[in-house]
Structure formats: structure tokens, C-alpha cells
Amino acid sequence: MVGTCELNHEVEVEDRIVWIHDKGAVFSVKKLSQLLAYDGIEAVEFSFDRIWSLKVPPKVRNFLWMLAINRIPTKDFLISRRIQIDSSNRGCPWCDRVLENTNHLFFECSFIKSFWSFIFSWWDLVWKDVTNIDELCSVCWSMKLTGIQKSLWLLVIAASCWTLWLA
Ligand SMILES: [Zn+2]
């Protein structure tokens, strides 16, 4: 049996330009200027091997690698390894509102967002809502900088992560 298929030509869909970089599809000059600061925000998965080429001390590279593979001994990590931690000492050291975990400690805590906003403002950049190390690396490596400026920028970011952990 051969079926028939008719396309419905009566439904007309109007073509229109949609600004995809805001939730409300609303164009904004501010958002555009943010986008221009980056070579490519679409990088979904960052190749963490690039961490080894950073011009920072080996222990900082090692730390960033551990951060990348989610092996930083935060409280939630330790608890998942059955290490006993007093219930009064499990919270985020900055806000004490959630169980200390990597993404919150380095990116999601409101205190830390202020910290990153400050670091980015040194370079006339607006801190994006980065929520994990993958996104941070994608954003930072995509920055339109070259040579010594790029090395210096990445050093600042690496040192900032390291400092947050030591703090
Ligand atoms: Zn917090």
C-alpha cells in the first residue's frame, strides 16, 4: 500500500531575525559589546590539556588540573569519600549557605561572583555568569588577546583560582 503525503502549503511562517544571545531574544548593545570581547563563546567543551601550557608554577597547573577533573578536596568531595566532617563545618566558607562544593566555591557563591567581577573589571570586561571550570576556561581562552597579554591574562585567572582555594 502506498500512502500519500501532502504538504500543507497554507501555513505561512514569516522569516524574522532573532537575537539569540539573550533569554528574551532582545537585542542589546551592552550584550553585543560583551560578545565582541570574546573570540567564540560557543566552545562547549574545553580541552583541559591546554592547562599544561599555562605559564604558571607547576603546583598551580596541578591544582587547575585537579579542579578540571573535579578532584579538589572540598567538603562534599571528602564526605563522598566517607571522611567525617563535623556538620557545623561543612558549609561554604564565604556564605555558609550550602554544603561546600567546587562549583559553588569557585563560581556560584555570590561573594565569589563579586570577586570575579572585580578581576574582570581590571580588563574592562564584564563577568559572565560562569558556573564551572569548563565555562571559565572556554571564556578565558577565547579572549581576544595575543602574545604576552594573553599569557598575562591567563596567569591572572589561574592565580585567582589558586588564591580562592588558599584563602
Ligand atoms: Zn557561598
pLDDT in tens, 67-118: 999 999 999 999 999 999 999 999 999 999 999 999 999 999 999 999 999 9
Cα dihedral: 128, 76, 63, 51 (round 10) = -50
How far, in Å, CA of 156 to CA of 119, rounded? 8
Give the distance (Å) from ligand 1 centre to CA of residue 106. Answer: 9
Nearest to 63 by CA among 165, 135, 154: 165
pLDDT for 12 beyond 80: no
Q: Per-residue confidence at 62, pLDDT binned at 50, 70, 90?
A: very high
Could you tell me the pTM of the whole model?
Answer: 0.71
Give the distance (Å) from ligand 1 centre to CA of residue 5. Answer: 58
Quickly count: other Cβ atoms within 10 Å of residue 97's Cβ.
Answer: 10
Give the distance (Å) from ligand 1 centre to CA of residue 104. Answer: 6
How far, in Å, CA of 78 to CA of 81, rounded? 5
Q: Each residue of 41-58: pLDDT tens digit?
A: 444 567 888 899 899 999
Give the distance (Å) from ligand 1 centre to CA of residue 52. Answer: 29
